[in-house]
Each structure stands twice: as C-alpha cells, then as structure tokens.
A and B are shown apart, each in its own frame.
Chain A
Amino acid sequence: MTLSAPHPHTSAPATDAELVARWMQGEEAAFDALFARHRGPVLGYASRMLQRREEAEEVCLETFARVVEGRYRPGGSFRSFVFTIAHRLCLDRLRRRGRWARVRTLFGGPAPLDPTPEAHALQDERCRRLDAALATLPEGHRSALLLYYKQELSSREVAEILGITDQQLRSQLSYARRRLRETLGPDDGRTP
C-alpha cells in the first residue's frame, strides 16, 4: 500500500493522526509516509536555524531516529512533537558552537551561510533575500518566525516548543517581524 496516496477509505490523504494510529498498530509503512511528509520541513527548519547543511542533516536524522525509538505518545500533534525534538537538537548545536559564535550573534552579524546546493537552486531572489534576512535574526526570533509562519504551527504549539508564554511569543514575533522588515528594506525585499 502506498501511504502517500489517499487512504483507501477516504478521498483525502491520510492525516498525521491517522498515520500515527496505523503506525502504532504496527504498520511500518505509515511511518514511512510520516517521514516522507515531514523530512523536508524538518530539514528546512534545521538548515535555517543552523545555517550548515551537514549539521542540519544530522539533526534531521536524529530527530526521526528518536521518533522511531517510540518516544511519541499520542496526545499533542505529531508535527509539534517532531519540531520540538528538532528545535532542541538545533539549540544543542547552537550552544555548542562556542563563545565566538555567540559573540557574532550578539553583535547582530549574519551567521555564515554554507554555499549549499539548495542555496544555488533558489531561483526566487525574494526567497534568497528573505533567507538571508532570517539568518541575521537572533536564534530565538528566527525559530519563532519559522515555526509559526513557515511551519504554520499554532501559537500555543510554538510557545510550548520554545518554552515561553503566549504573550512572550507574540512579543518575539512582533520584534522578529520588525527586524526582518528593517533588514529587507522598505518594500520587504520584493525588488532585488
């Protein structure tokens, strides 16, 4: 059975909750579908947080390895669970980069971007500018923007992942959007 295809009993693709339920009942292919669905977003999140493709791949690998180990307990959303792991792994690595990396961030300088194949493949100049602007944000604000807008998690889920209150999240999002606009320029980076 191909799980990227619609569930046999419905016309819509299986939801995460449905796939998780089937996986819990021993249907390994259901996990394959969950992995296929979330690998790109997790890798994208880690890439933008870490700005290093190799480390991002390691985070992505470890995130799903932990999921396979059966630490997921149905309750919250699967996506929120996956991004909680990925976010913590990213933070681990950012913390470990040492004092000089932290000093660079404190002074607001952009973290160095590896010339990844994806970066070269980004045809859209606007996306490239947006990515570059994101890289200049402090990690806390970058993660808030990415989780809320890029991953479209709810404000409650994002606040839980970041370990902050809803009000703090609103404040972080507001500050981050302002910083992003300042970096992008008056037209939000629409004109290259």
Chain B
Amino acid sequence: MTAPTGLRHEDLTDADRALLRDPELAAEHERELELGQQLALLPDPEGGPTLAEVRAASGRRRRSPALWGGLALAAAALLAVQLGGDDMRNRGVPDGVGHVSLRAVAEGPDGRRALADGDAVRGDERVLFRAVVDGSGHVVLTQDGAAIHPISGRAEVQGGPWVPRDGGPLSWRPDDGRSRGEYRVWLCPEPSGSLDGCRSDGLVLHWTP
C-alpha cells in the first residue's frame, strides 16, 4: 500500500492521518505537499480560443448529423463494391457475431466527400468515421492495429449506426510521417480480449501533403 504522503488534508482518511503521526512520514508529507504547491503555482497560458469560436465550433458539430446520412449512404455503396477483401479476413469468425461496415468521409475547405478504400486525403482535410452494425456486440476502431476509439476497452452496441466520439469530426492523420493508414472497425462478442473471433471491416487511406 502506498503511503499517504503528499495528499491534501481533505483526501486523507482517518487511517492515513494516524500513519502521518510518524515524524519521518510527516516530514516527507510536508516536502511532498510543498512540491505539489509548486505545481499549483505554474501559470496558465494566456489566449486560447474565444467564446465566438467555441459557439461556432459547436454549431458546426450540430449541423453534421444531417449531412451524415446522405454521405454515409453514398460511402456505403462505394465500400460495398470496393472492400471485397474483407470477406477473406472474416473467414472463421463465429456465425453468432453480427456484421459491421465502416464508412468514412473527408471534410475539408471544399466541403465533404465520401471516401473509399485506397482514396487519398489531403493535408487540409480531416476524416469522419461511422460504422453500421448488424447485431449487438462490442466495437472498437483501430488505426494500423492500434485502438483509437475507444482507446481502452470497446463500446457496446445494440445494432444500427455507431459514430465514434458522438459524431465529432475526427482527424486521424498520422503525424509521424506515415503516408498510409489502415482504419478498421471490429465487432466483437466480448468487451475485451483478443480481436480473433471479431468481425471487421476497414479501408486504407493515403495522406497527401
């Protein structure tokens, strides 16, 4: 058990306070609190977004669901044709696991456009994802095999559309210099564990400057 040193008074239990009667622990406690006070005095930066920007951003997010429907349908039609390779990947997945499809839209200065597997995304665009789930289970979105939403665990779904992060625009452009990313949504029977036995659907996007 970790000693309660460095915790503020209001976060200490009676047992903690009893422990801190020890003179050595009490002295260490004071030193740790002093370090905490130094952290508390770190200045907050000036500036930042304005209220008008916040309200404008909120307005954009509220308008996005209406556009989603039509664009997602178009993307679905394209993906249905172009993602035949996923059938191979899903071989061996138990019959009880439902089906899932991933759709993507790029949003940029010129508006939005549906993305298909292999499409290029410009540097001034960001990508919005949406999955459609047939059946219940637990879903996760990955980028090159690493979970990006949810970051830990999986989101429970009961079928229907699943929109990562409540439909907020997502920008998944890798900033480590990679120009290609594979995005995949997984539908699993279990809330955690291996992705073996999960059905998936995905697409590859190429990032251009």
> Contacts A69-B61, A95-B148 given: A171-B168 contact, CB under 8 Å?
no
Do B55 and A171 touch (CB < 8 A)?
no
Find the B residue at minimum CB distance from A158: B11
B45 contacts A173, CB within 8 Å?
no
Cβ–Cβ contact B175 & A97, under 8 A: yes
Complex CA–CA separation, A174 to B11 (angstroms): 14
Q: Bits for B167-186, please: 1 = Cβ < 8 Å to A, else 0.
A: 01000101111100000000
B175 touches A43 (CB 8 A): no
Closest beta carbon of chain A to B45's beta carbon, Å: 4
CB distance from A97 to the nearest CB of B (A): 6
- The reply to whether B176 and A61 form a contact with Cβ atoms under 8 Å apart is no
Chain A residue contacts of B44, Cβ below 8 A: 40-41, 43-44
- Residue B87 lies at the interface, judged by CB distance under 8 Å to chain A: no
**Could you say which residues of chain A place their CB within 8 Å of the CB of B194?**
none
A: contact size bracket: 35 or more
Does B22 interact with chain A (Cβ within 8 Å)? no
Given the complex of chains A and B, what is the CA–CA distance between A188 and B41 in angstroms? 14
The interface residues of chain B lying within 8 Å CB-to-CB of A145 are 39
With a cutoff of 8 Å between Cβ atoms, the chain B residues found around residue A182 in the complex are: none
Do B2 and A92 touch across chains, with their CB atoms under 8 A apart? no
Contacts of B4 in A (CB 8 A): 170
Interface residues of B in 147-163 (CB under 8 A from A): 147-149, 151-152
Q: Does B5 contact A (CB under 8 A)?
A: yes
Shortest C-beta distance, B83 to chain A (Å), equals 23
Residues of chain A within 8 A of B53, CB atoms compared = 61
Contact assessment for B168 and A66 in the assembled complex, using a CB-CB cutoff below 8 Å: yes
Instruction: List 5 A-B pairs, minimum CB-CB distance, nearest first.
Output: A98-B176, A40-B44, A149-B39, A44-B44, A149-B36
Residues of B within 8 A of A (CB): 1-8, 10-11, 32, 34-49, 51, 53-55, 57-58, 61-62, 143, 146-149, 151-152, 165, 168, 172, 174-178
**9 additional A-B residue pairs with CB within 8 Å, beyond A95-B147, A130-B39, A173-B6:** A43-B44, A56-B45, A68-B55, A92-B165, A95-B148, A118-B45, A127-B41, A170-B2, A174-B3
